[in-house]
């Protein structure tokens, strides 16, 4: 079975969650997207790296979500979302690239 590309799933969850919340006007709907993608990514992180890797990358995912809010006040919403999504994807890739 081909592994799920967790860096792409994590980045898509952050970008997609924001996009859905912004364009639908329903923040909880964006949260569902964010949570769903985060769950899929966390499952894959746990599968390839174990509980410690999943916990660490899960914390990075949540920190990216939380950190995008104050960052958006400095650089704008979309640049902030893309920045944290890229950072989380890079961390995921760096930690899981040789596993799976």
User: Is the pTM of the predicted complex or chain greater than 0.85?
Assistant: yes
Task: State the DSSP code for 98.
Answer: T
On whether residue 32 sits in a domain, the answer given is yes
- Domain span at residue 41 reads 6-96
How many domains would you assign to the chain?
Answer: 1
On whether residue 25 sits in a domain, the answer given is yes
pLDDT in tens, 4-19: 799 999 999 999 999 9
On whether residue 1 sits in a domain, the answer given is no
Tell me the C-alpha to C-alpha distance, in Å, between residue 35 and each of 30, 63, 74: 9, 13, 25
pLDDT in tens, 20-70: 999 999 999 999 999 999 999 999 999 999 999 999 999 999 999 999 999
């Amino acid at each position: 079975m081909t592994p799920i590309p967790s860096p792409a799933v994590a980045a898509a969850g952050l970008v997609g969650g924001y996009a859905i919340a912004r364009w639908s006007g329903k923040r909880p709907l964006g949260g569902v997207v964010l949570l769903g993608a985060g769950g899929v990514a966390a499952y894959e992180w746990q599968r390839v790296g174990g509980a410690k890797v999943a916990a660490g990358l899960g914390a990075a995912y949540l920190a990216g979500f939380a950190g995008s809010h104050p960052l958006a006040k400095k650089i704008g919403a979309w640049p902030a979302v893309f920045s944290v999504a890229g950072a989380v994807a890079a961390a995921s890739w760096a930690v899981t690239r040789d596993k799976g």
